[in-house]
């Protein structure tokens, strides 16, 4: 699961670099929080698996995803308020970005829930 999260973050990072190279810094900064949840989740799970070789239960990914989802949603709202000037575009950006991050987090939570064996 860490690999999939890091690939999603990499794809959004490439999109972000494209915006910055096209001199669309506002859109580059607006896309940045979309990759926060998969980047944090992928990096922490990868470190836990590969470097520290620690077994974890469902609680660690759940807390990690929910906290990074909250931070990402706040970051999206701040970016929406500062970077986007028109009200109609703000609403579209806010709804679509938060929906994307929420659905991605829900998919990752379900994936971790069914992937980690239950321990009694």
Per-residue pLDDT for 99 more than 60?
Answer: yes
Q: Indicate the pTM of the whole model.
A: 0.82
Per-residue pLDDT for 119 more than 60?
Answer: no
Extract the tokens encoding 55.
């077994």
pLDDT of residue 57: 73
Is residue 97 within 8 A of residue 76, CB to CB? The reply is yes
Query: Tens of pLDDT along 40-86?
Result: 888 888 888 787 777 777 788 888 899 999 999 999 999 888 888 88
Q: How far apart are CA 29 and CA 12, in angstroms?
A: 12
Which residues touch 54 (CB under 8 Å, ≥6 apart)? 48
pLDDT of residue 60: 80
- The alpha carbon dihedral of 74, 77, 79, 82 has a sign of negative
Work out the average pLDDT over 16-31: 88
Identify the band that residue 116 occupies on the pLDDT scale cut at 50, 70 and 90: low
Select from 37, 33, 57 the least CA-distant residue to 108: 37
Per-residue pLDDT for 102 more than 90?
Answer: yes
């Amino acid at each position: 699961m860490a690999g999939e999260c890091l690939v999603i973050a990499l794809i959004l990072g490439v999109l972000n670099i494209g915006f910055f190279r096209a001199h669309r810094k506002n859109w580059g900064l607006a896309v940045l929080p979309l990759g926060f949840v998969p980047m944090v989740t992928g990096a922490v799970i990868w470190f836990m698996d590969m470097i520290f070789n620690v077994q974890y239960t469902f609680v660690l990914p759940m807390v990690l995803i929910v906290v990074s989802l909250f931070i990402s949603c706040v970051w999206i709202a701040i970016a929406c308020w500062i970077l986007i000037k028109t009200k109609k575009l703000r609403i579209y950006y806010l709804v679509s970005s938060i929906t994307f991050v929420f659905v991605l987090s829900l998919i990752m939570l379900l994936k971790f829930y069914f992937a980690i064996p239950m321990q009694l």
